[in-house]
Amino acid sequence: MDMAMSPRPQSGRWWWNMKAEKKKKQEEAGLPVKAKIQREIIAWFWVGLAFLLINGTIGQARVIPSGSMENTLLIGDHLIMSRIGYDAGVPFTDVHLSLWRNPSRQQIVIFRPVIPGETSDVIKRVIGLPGETVDIRDGSVWINGARLSENYAIGPTERGDPVMFRAAFEGKRDVFPYTVPPGCFFVMGDNRGNSLDSRFVGCVPRSHIVGTPVMVYMSIDAPSDAWGSGSISDRVSAYANALLHPREIRWRRLFRLF
């Protein structure tokens, strides 16, 4: 014998939640159009403010435009960068505040450019810490007289010729051995034959370091011009090509953590 289902009792938390939701919908339906628009504007204002706060203090997105960090990072890798503990800034301005964290040796960092006239952020690997002596000989890096093990580096490490940026080395012609000044970090690209780094331009001040990469969220095999030119049309073309030809996406690199 089938039993009829008894109606839900009109009491308890469920009932009062339903009544409150119904009353809320009735009140919203009775609001004038102007009030609804004001509510939407206020809601989007708080969403935008939250985005700016996250963008300025927690994380940002970056894309790799060159091969200086190959094979650790490839041209077209899209990164999520963490700023937590490193830097806080006002979005769309040059206002920055260095925070309490300092990078460790062999950590990858993102920093504001040290070359006058450059505007794009740079990504390299920390090699020498403040106060340490960095030497380059026999195709390797030596820290305080001990050879540094670097299984991530491509090719032998050669000394740079800082002709254009000799002022960064106090005018010295023979740079190495080089003692890293206080509050500075000696950085290098993993692709040692194709990296404009501290061998040429000097150390990176701590105040320039803004964060560290945490994950590759997208990787597109496209020419460097698509990412380094700053042209919106070039980037749109690269993304459109990836949608039309999914093989251009390096699927195995997606969601790779650092």
Q: Which residue numbers are catalytic?
A: 68, 124
**Burial of residue 205 (number of CB atoms within 10 Å: 0-12, 13-18, 19+):** middle
* CA atoms of 179 and 130, how far apart (whole Å): 8
Is residue 154 within 8 Å of residue 191, measured between CB atoms? yes
Largest CA distance in the chain: 100
Both tokens of 37, joined, read: 């628009």
* CA atoms of 224 and 55, how far apart (whole Å): 25
Cα angle, residue 12 at apex, residues 6 and 17 outer, rounded to 5°: 105
Is residue 112 within 8 Å of residue 100, measured between CB atoms? no
H-type helices in the chain, by residue range? 12-29, 33-57, 198-201, 225-228, 232-244
Taking alpha carbons only, the member of 140, 135, 136 closest to residue 153 is 140
- Phi then psi dihedrals of residue 82, to 5 deg: -95, 130
Is residue 81 within 8 Å of residue 103, measured between CB atoms? no
